[in-house]
Amino acid sequence: MNKVAEELYGKDAKEWLSRWDAGETLWSIEMGGLGDDYEEAIQAAAVVMLRAMLDLKLDASKWSGPESWKADLKNLDEATEEYMKKAGLSGAMYSAALSLAGILYKQGPAVAFSDKEILPRLIVLCDGKIVHPDEDTDAGKD
Whether residue 122 contacts residue 28, with contact meaning beta carbons closer than 8 Å, is answered with yes
Examine the pLDDT at 89 and tell me if it is beyond 70.
yes
Examine the pLDDT at 5 and tell me if it is beyond 60.
yes
135 pLDDT band, cuts 50/70/90, is: low
88 pLDDT band, cuts 50/70/90, is: very high
Give the global pTM.
0.88
The alpha-helical segments, DSSP class H, found in the chain are 3-9, 13-21, 36-56, 70-87, 91-106, 109-112
